[in-house]
Chains A and B, each alone.
Chain A
Amino acid sequence: MPLVLPDIDWLTLAPLLVLLSTASLAALYALYNRSSKAVALLALLGLAVAAIFNLQLFVASRAGELRSSFGLRYLADQGALAFNFVILLGAALAILISYDYLKRAELEQPEYYPLMLLSASGAMVMAAAGDLIILLLGLEIMSLAVYVLSAWRQQARESAEAGMKYFLLGAFASAFLIYGIALIYGATGFFSYPQIVAGLLAEGFEQIFLATLGGIMILAGLGFKVALVPFHQWAPDVYTGAPTPVTAFMSVVVKTAAFAALLRIFAFIYPELGVLAVQSLVVLIALTLIVGNFTALVQRGIKRMLAYSAVAHAGYLALAVLAAGNLGMRAAIWYLTAYTLMNAGAFAVLTLLSDRNDHGDDLERFAGLARSRPYLAAAMTVFLLSLAGIPLLAGFVGKILVFSAAIEAGYVSLTVIAIITSVVAMVYYLRPVMYMYFREPEYEPLQTNSRSTHIAIGIAVFGTVLLGIFPGWWYSLLDLGQSLLAGL
């Protein structure tokens, strides 16, 4: 029997392979040399090289060259590549935030960085997946690393609890996802998206109920990763318990990857499923927007508030998922870019304000910060106002894009809920701002400084403002309505 080589396009896989080999190299290097600095730099270098390959692919795909590998199972269309940029950016910011933080918290072990790269590579696989099995593989690669990272502070109970909780509930979520995949496979006989759709549309197809149930299960599994209510229960504890840079990583990279996967299957498979599958997402979004925003309102700790705010933002993003076929995909990528910048930025500021055990993130610590650390306060204000959706900052444009996509797709009442709950959100985002500017200091602020964190904050501020004032260029680059489906 002749050996049949699988259809492998190496350039398509290049960004992924770069990350994986950097991670392995860094892990090996760490065996001999315990210097965190070298490993962190190596990791950043890996991200940069991956970004360059990704850029090359992106330029090619904009020129109409649609690459894929493994027979349309691993895609390099514009959607996947744009998501890769967001993932790489999020990972780079997280590494920058981590470096001095780990030293300060005496958690410095070089293996930290390879784990982050591995997780990011899993995220990229999810964004590129054109096949349910590939999706599952990506999800597991990404999640396993994050489980370890969230328990990085081994001595602290909260961190161990965070890791354990995330792992257990994550296992549940994976089970849901696998069950859903199995059901869809059972109904159609295929794993890859185009074949599934073909199977669903085939004449005489009778297993629509089974397939719809599978779709709902997949939604539940991915809903867990992006923290849609009621699958969000893990988020506040894990976000609070994990070391702050890991929280930043989780809140941006993991969320981006899960949304990338969700958007793709929603744009492609869900329209062919029973109406129940879409309806269940509508219910989840409404719940997420209401519960996320109102629960964030009553939090005293900033980190926990940001955790619930992440839940709420999942709701806004999911709104774009609903409109995935139309403008939603573009809006979601744009929103995730903005979200990565402002959320990672907010967590970066938080690492400089909390003590080495991550304590002291309650509101009182923010009192009078504008006087004691004016630049840090100003940066935090930019991030919070952007998260709140104040104009001329990235978050506002993201909201406009998502809302108009949802209105165009006909989800007007859901958009109304989203807009009204965003007023509630204003209150909890502005509260820290009011503490920083309108109050006298109550504590002696920590004078923690860190060059790498400052760089991360600088990038995030610059990006948030730039995307807020000139949103057009990035949005026009995301011109992918047709190519996405054509690529499948």
Chain B
Amino acid sequence: MISLLIFLPLLGAALMPLFREPKAGKWLALLISALTTLLSLGLWLGYDLTQGGFQYLQELPWIPSLGINYIVALDGLSLPFVFLTALLTLVSVLAEWQRDDKGFFGMFLMMQGALIAVFVALDLILFFIAFELVLMPMFFIIGIWGYDQRRYAALKFLLYSLIGSVFLLLAILATAFIASGGGMISFDYRLLLTQLPAIAAAKGVLLLISSGFLVAFLIKLPAFPVHTWLPHAHTQAPTAGSILLAGVLLKMGGYGIIRFNLALFPEAMLSLQPFLATLAVIGILYGGYVAMGQTDLKKLVAYSSVNHMGFVLLGIASLTAFGVGGAVYQMVAHGIITGLMFMLVGMMSQRTHTRTIAAMKGMYSAMPVLGGLMWLAMLGGAGIPGMAGFIGEFQALLGAFQNPATAVFAVLSVFGILINGGLMLWTIQRVLQGEPSVQMQENYDLYDLKGLELAAAAPLVALAVLWGLWPPSLSPYIDRAVQPVLELVTNVTKVAGF
């Protein structure tokens, strides 16, 4: 079943060149992304929460002589992201429905398949392959269909990611070799988990190896100071590219840290805790601060992502159940809300032919539905109670407070909430309130959301509110997966005598 989620989109992408009719591409993309969304929802509902652990396991030999196998499964950590990937691909296809370019939709399907593979892979090499494979379609999406500086942005995005991947690959190879202890090498994640003492025994290189993983994931997240690719990639990417970039691609970073760094290198995480928390706080404060100064609406949203992802990192760095769970919640919420925000910004700039904040006055009165949804998304981004963003941020902060080692960072981050809240309200004031300029009204047709656009936005709005008001529909799954990982960390703490 899981394999269907990976290979159906990939198959669709492979079939794309065969179509003569350019329009056929988007119909195929719509069909496949809708199917996979339903399928992933079904898998989620079918997941046995009481049993927990990895379910829907599928194992096939791939390169057995090298210990590389095709192993995929779902647990509470991967479920929300798999669903998010499928849903956001569907939303992206709908949001770009005016395009008739089959190559464009082919790239999205390819990316969807690779992204799902990232979240379900239980073989480290398979994970790495998927992790790398995500880059290529995004590289082409930004580079071919982006705005003026797309080439620069695409290359920057790719290079940053590749530098991270290099360290990741090295760290994966080293981990497997250390864990094998001279015997048969294996990249099976479950097997590596049983070899934790062997890994931990490699004291000298432990920090180095875990940093290899960490670098790749921090670049993806992105954390300060390796976040600089993000604003460029976001501003230059087409709308759907931004949606998936913010909605899912960044999440690979947080997912990776929890899945691999926390589980395989708990000691190293413990010693890196202050460092990570510092990066998180800088991301929170600096991201929010820089977002304030932006004149381009899309860039503003991009920098606010740096702020949001800071909370994710803070939650993880707290090493508490609350914090890590909150980090995951925050990632899902950010995917929904920021995805929505990017979509609305795209629709708005399509109508106004600008993204400059100063030129976009009074959007609410010109387009009440679009403006209203933008209100909602902005408030969600500010983290008001009742929206999904609040739960994640709050939980992550609470977790950071719980752990005395990170409490001081939590206090500092509260200012970040303030900055971010102010930013969102100020943006609402500048973009949505008032009346549109005469020039804008005369020159452009400021029509409100059409049916299809509304359909694209609807699921995101619904989920942002659902997961804001009713966390039990999401958090038990996350907690179920996070608990065992944190037990590993607690064991280390006990042994070390903290």
Contacts and interface: CB of A to CB of B under 8 A. Distances in A.
Interface in B205-259: none
Given A400-B125, A475-B66, A419 B133 contact: no
Interface string A419-448: 110110011001000100111000000000
B66 A423 contact: no
A271 interface: no
A184 to B, nearest CB: 34
B173 A407 contact: yes
A307 B159 CA distance: 23
B144 A472 contact: no
B63 A426 contact: no
A423 B163 CA distance: 6
A427 B158 CA distance: 9
A416 B162 contact: no
Contact of A437 (B62, B143, B159): B143
Given A390-B132, A390-B136, A438-B144, A472 B65 contact: yes
Contacts of A401: 66
A353 B492 CA distance: 61
B66 A430 contact: no
Interface in B38-80: 61-66
A139 B129 CA distance: 39
Interface string A391-406: 1100011001101100
A417 B154 CA distance: 25
A425 to B, nearest CB: 10
Contacts of B170: 403, 415-416, 419
B63 A472 contact: yes
A396 B63 CA distance: 14
B151 to A, nearest CB: 5
B408 to A, nearest CB: 36
Contact of A438 (B154, B169, B173): B154
A430 B163 contact: no
Contacts of A430: 139, 155, 158
A153 to B, nearest CB: 36
A419 B169 contact: yes
B102 to A, nearest CB: 12
Given A430-B155, A438-B150, A392 B65 contact: no
B97 interface: no
A396 B131 CA distance: 13
B166 A475 contact: no
B154 A434 contact: yes
B27 interface: no
Contact of A404 (B150, B159, B163, B173): B173
B143 A392 contact: no
A384 to B, nearest CB: 12
A406 B139 CA distance: 31
Nearest to A370: B144
* Size category, B interface: 20 to 34
A437 B140 contact: yes
B304 to A, nearest CB: 28
Q: Which of A404, A419, A471, A476 has the most CB of B within 10 A?
A: A404
A434 B155 contact: yes
A415 B155 CA distance: 25
Contacts of A419: 166, 169-170
A412 B159 CA distance: 23
Contacts of B177: 404, 407-408
A172 to B, nearest CB: 37
B174 to A, nearest CB: 7
Interface in A194-237: none
Given A385-B136, A437-B144, A475-B66, A403 B173 contact: yes
B35 interface: no
Nearest to B180: A408
A471 to B, nearest CB: 6
B196 interface: no
B128 interface: yes
Contact of A434 (B64, B128, B143): B143
B45 to A, nearest CB: 32
Given A391-B132, A400-B125, A472-B64, A438 B158 contact: no
B66 A404 contact: yes
Nearest to B132: A391
Contacts of A390: 132-133, 136
A209 B64 CA distance: 43
Interface string A371-399: 00000000000000100001110001100
B136 A427 contact: no
A478 B169 CA distance: 24
A385 B128 CA distance: 16
B56 to A, nearest CB: 23
B66 to A, nearest CB: 7
A71 to B, nearest CB: 33
B166 A392 contact: no
Given A396-B129, A438-B151, A472-B63, 7 more contacts: A400-B169, A403-B173, A404-B173, A408-B177, A430-B158, A434-B151, A471-B63
11 contacts: A390-B136, A391-B133, A400-B173, A401-B66, A403-B170, A412-B174, A415-B173, A437-B143, A437-B144, A439-B151, A472-B62
Interface of B: 61-66, 125, 128-130, 132-133, 136, 139-140, 143-144, 150-151, 154-155, 158-159, 162-163, 166, 169-170, 173-174, 177, 185
